[in-house]
Structure 1
Amino acid sequence: MADAIDLPRNEDGIVAALGILKQRFGETFHTGQSMREQHGHTTTWIRNQPPDAVVFARSTEEVAEVVKVCAAHKVPVIAYGTGTSLEGHVNAPAGGVCIDLTEMNQVIAVHSEDLDCVVQPGVTRKQLNTHLRDQGLFFPIDPGANASLGGMAATRASGTNAVRYGTMKDNVLSLQIVLPSGEVIRTASRAKKSSAGYDLTRLIVGAEGTLGIITELTLKLQGIPEAISSARCSFDTMDAACQAVMATIQHGIPVARIELLDDMSVRAANAYSGLELPVTPLLLLEFHGSEASVAEQAELFGNIVEELDSKGFEWTTRAEDRSKLWQARHDMYWASLALRPGAKGISTDICVPISRLAECVTATQAKAKELNLLAPIVGHVGDGNFHALPLIDMDDESEISRAETFVAWLNDMAISMEGTCTGEHGIGQGKKSYLLQELGGAVDVMVAVKAAVDPDNIMNPGKIIG
């Protein structure tokens, strides 16, 4: 498996830093074993590597204070949001201090006339959208889990709405960050565009906490659509479902969401969420706009799938029907685990050009079958991104080995198709070995940036390139 590599520890520095931080932060400073393991938690198969201490920060000033102490003693610092990342991002391979940002959870300002807002990093996407609802606004990025917005920016998160609204990199206007020195900077203004200098905002978005800690975000907002309709459509084959996706995108239909479930995932959703869908490949879609435009979009999609021998095409504007379908989609991780009780779900994702989607998905299914793995597939396929979830008996060495082979093969295939080994999960620890294969000499530039900004490698070491 993609095991966590232990890095050299600065034992004297850790002891000195923890002594100072304990005296300064008192009851918000923790060294208990269970608390530390919780903050080294990883939702994949990478070994837990807990920090030496956890500090619950309540302000940018407190984050900066912790970082300054750690910088003075060359002690690692790891930021923590909600712990929903999937590639070992919050592990502490060299020990150090975890800064938990969950108590920095205030919506600082909403500028409804400018369609933007300013939030602290511990605000979750659901919390923000609840806050915005009475103003007719929403934040569209939806990775499924109720992740923190700071964590979503750090991992360049995406999700079901990305096909229309983009990813985190497209929806963050500005960031306030604490650098490895403890200095606080802002990466940009609230202006919707700027030609002023390097784009530091996009450098930090996706840096996974290796260049600094995000303590404030300025985000783009959208108006809640006048009308929303959802559609579902089943297909006899995975190839036909993927062909429908490609045709929909190539015809320019402005779908807000277009999600793929293979037959195993549909079976799991039926059992877990009480649905009665045909157990064949399924597309779930959502259309946003005026009442006339969402009806037109659904009709155009219906014309496309009719030519691909689809079955069971239905669309609705009823909120309760839409909510039931999309809740089932968001519950897919837990539904899939129920296919094999006691198994560990190893969630991995890739993204390929949309023209290669059908070939890639069907090859993935064939590879899982060849290796005798139960690996349901779901995907945000409007942008060529999908997830496979091998369900593994972690006491079976042979099965673990086959899962390793499967994940490696999947990453290699995506890269060979001019795609990426990770569409939205990030690199973390789990996919470090594929970064050079995918980006070549660009990795040297990343190494140079990291060395310039964080010469002592205290910011989330062991992740991406460290």
Structure 2
Amino acid sequence: MNAALPGSHLSPRLEPRAVPPALLEALKLRFGGQFSQAAAVREQHGRDESAFSVPPPDAVVFAQSTQDVSDAVQLAAQFKVPVIPFGVGSSLEGHLLAVQGGISLDVSRMNQVLAINAEDLTVTVQPGVTRTQLNAAVKSTGLFFPIDPGADATLGGMTATRASGTNAVRFGTMRENVLALEVVTASGEVIRTGTRAKKSSAGYDLTRLMVGSEGTLGIMTEITVKLYPLPEAVMAAIVSFDSLADAVNTTIQIIQMGVPIARCELLDATTVRIVNTYAKLNLREGAMLLMEFHGSPAGVQEQVEMVQALADENHGHAFEWAKTPEERTRLWTARHNAYFAGVQSVPGCKAITTDACVPISRLAEALLVSVEEAQASGIPYFMVGHVGDGNFHMGYLIDPSNAQERDTAEALNHKLVARALALGGTCTGEHGVGLHKMGFLVDETGAGAVAMMRAIKNALDPDNILNPGKIFALS
């Protein structure tokens, strides 16, 4: 592989640019109380859930409208100063860190649900709307938005990173669920991409270009996404296995048989123990699949019977059912909190997380060896997986002041990614590249593809002011 040596991923290249006093004065004049240089505010906007330590931005602007975003970008562009979008700070890959200094543009106050078009199964929101807020807003229509990353992230951040979650096996990722965007470009111009129509062949697909661009090509100010009918019947279940291999093989067989399962999540025994402690549960401490079934009552029952038979063939233990909404909420809340449970299990630690995704037929090869390597390393870890679509996460829990632990964790990550790429997979299934995966991008896509990405970036953002230093280096 051409990726940087272990350890170097956690030392991003810092190239701070001077922020002229004239720009700060102009921002203060334009935004008043929406502008801050307070140390506490800057510190809050200079950290996320990643293991990186980077100086905070020079200032923060709290945008409340598309015009605010446009004006902030226009002012920054005059001085060629970076602008870094900020939602709720849930990035695991350092997306929102100001590695070249500049202005953090906080869009969390842009949190309006603008238009619910229930007849067309679409909704348009501002970027600061969170997935929980969105589903509360559309619940009365009998519809829901299925994409659910572990954190209650904003739709802006989810779109920028091409996020997914536990429902991706049934409903896809943000890539498949974003229909249209309003975007502020590097010059401050406001453009629209896509429509609410089911299909279009009009020109380049700029919506797909922006989805997953991590704030490097434009700042999203409106997002139109698909909605889905709430299922008539829902059942959730957990089933334990004596071996991780049996749990993984069950998953592969479920997908290959075409069972339309809505969720299929995997925790290994170590992670179940961590989640039990954190969430005060009493789950059996073995490899575990957490599953959810949607459809008509008869359809759900058919799915359940097929999955039960497959689990039995792979030495699964008795199913435990979560039938009521309250039981299901408790179960999935525990799963969504697995990351935070892991971090709290080792006081003072930082988590170095992986995000590999492989074809479902190669899942066992990728996942089982990765867990064995983590166990042999002596580094505390957790493992969770959206295994229905071949995506799994290792979280290596390190002392951030211990260079040897950091290097060991990065070496594990390096081997895991190399294995995933060799199996036809990707270094990042849903978290995005950010800072942490930059060293793997050429290995995955090839130098020619990265050169094309650089050409697009240079064409749309010639002064490199939009979230610079992410995805790839320009030189």
What's the TM-score, normalizing by structure 1? 0.97
CA distance in 1: counterparts of 2:12 and 2:275, whole angstroms: 36
Contact kept, 8 Å, 1:231 with 1:298, in 2: the verdict is: no
The answer on 1:171 being equivalent to 2:177 is: yes
CA distance in 2, matches of 1:318, 1:254: 21
Q: Which residue of 1 aligns with 2:445?
A: 439
Number of corresponding residues = 465
Any idea what SS the aligned residue of 1:19 has? Answer: helix
In 2, Cα distance between equivalents of 1:179 and 1:21? 18
CA distances 1:220-262 after superposition (whole Å, capped 9, x unpaired): 0011111100111111111110000000000000011000000
SS in 1 for 2:92: coil
SS at match of 2:26: helix
Q: Work out whether residues 54 and 99 of structure 2, in 8 Å CA contact, stay in contact via their aligned partners in 1.
A: no
Measure, in 1, the Cα distance between the counterparts of 2:13 and 2:405. 25
| Cα offset, 1:7, TM superposition | 4.4
Matched, 1:200 2:214: no
Q: Which is worse superposed, 414-423 or 106-115?
A: 414-423
CA-CA distance at 1:6 after TM superposition? 4.2
What residue in structure 2 maps to residue 349 of structure 1? 355
**Larger deviation, residues 38-47 vs 279-288:** 38-47
Match 1:68 to one of 74, 79, 89:
74
8 Å CA contact 1:37–1:48 kept in 2: the answer is no
Matches of 2:45 and 2:368, distance apart in 1: 37
**How far apart, CA to CA, are the structure 2 residues paired with 1:8 and 1:89?**
16
Pairing of 1:13-24 with structure 2 (within 5 A): 14-24=20-30
Residues 298 and 315 in structure 1, CA contact (< 8 A), matched pair in contact too: no
- Provide the C-alpha distance between the structure 1 equivalents of 2:401 and 2:184, rounded to a whole number of angstroms: 42
Q: Which runs of 5+ in 1 are unaligned?
A: none
Q: 2:248 aligns with which of 236, 242, 245?
A: 242
Are residue 408 (structure 1) and residue 417 (structure 2) matched?
no
Residue in structure 1 matching 2:309, options 303, 306, 329 = 303
| Alignment partners' CA distance in 1, 2:440 and 2:243 | 31
CA offsets 1:134-153 (integer angstroms, 9 cap, x no match):
11111100002110001100
Per-residue CA distance 1:352-381 (angstroms, 9 max, x = gap)? 111111111110111112222221111100
Q: Say whether 1:159 aligns with 2:159.
A: no
215-224 or 410-419: which moved more? Answer: 410-419
2:45 touches 2:56 (CA, 8 Å); kept in 1?
yes
CA distance in 2, matches of 1:404, 1:178: 36
Q: What secondary structure does 2:381 align onto?
A: coil
Q: Residue 78 of structure 1 aligns to a residue in which SS?
A: strand
- What secondary structure is seen at the aligned counterpart in 2 of 1:195? coil
Q: Does 1:111 find its partner at 2:117? A: yes
Match of 2:272?
Answer: 266
Q: Map residues 34-433 of structure 1 onto 2, 5 A cutoff.
A: 34-433=40-439
Q: What's the secondary structure of 1:419's corresponding residue?
A: coil
Once residues 320 and 129 of structure 1 are traced to their aligned partners in structure 2, the CA distance between those partners, rounded to angstroms, is 16
2:3 maps to none
Displacement of 1:14: 3.4
Q: What are the superposed Cα offsets for residues 282-331 of structure 1, whole Å, 9 maximum, x if unpaired? A: 00000111111111111110011111111122334322222221111112
Counterpart of 1:218 in 2: which secondary structure? Answer: strand
Q: Is residue 55–residue 97 contact of structure 1 (8 Å, CA) maintained in 2?
A: yes
CA distance in 2, matches of 1:177, 1:131: 23
Q: Please list the CA deviations of residues 331-357 of structure 1 after superposition, one character each: whole Å capped at 9, or x if unmatched.
A: 212222343233222222111111111
1:369 maps to a residue whose letter is Q
Q: Write the distance in 1 (CA, Å) between the matches of 2:21 and 2:132.
A: 38
SS at match of 1:265: helix
Is the 8 Å Cα contact of residues 259 and 381 (structure 1) preserved in structure 2?
A: yes
How far residue 34 of structure 1 moved from its aligned partner, in angstroms, is: 1.6
What do you get for the CA RMSD once the two structures are aligned?
A: 1.2
Q: Mean Cα displacement is larger for which, 156-165 or 34-43?
A: 34-43
Cα pair 2:110 2:126 within 8 Å, conserved: yes
1:15 Cα deviation after fit:
2.6
Shift of the 51–4 alpha-carbon distance from structure 1 to 2, 3 Å rule, reads farther
Is the alpha carbon distance of 1:14 and 1:156 closer, same or farther for their aligned partners in structure 2, counting shifts above 3 Å?
Answer: farther
Q: Is the partner of 1:187 in helix, strand or coil?
A: strand
Q: Which amino acid in the other structure matches residue 386 of structure 1? A: F
What TM-score comes out, normalization by structure 2 length?
0.96
Distance 1:242 1:6 in 2: 38
Q: 1:365 to 1:375 in 2, by over 3 A?
A: same
8 Å contact from structure 1 (residues 227, 317) kept in 2: no
Q: CA deviation at 1:49?
A: 3.0
Distance in 2 between residues matched to 1:444 and 1:60, nearest whole Å? 31
Distance 1:8 1:342 in 2: 29
> 2:57 corresponds to which letter in structure 1?
P
Same amino acid, percent of matched pairs = 52
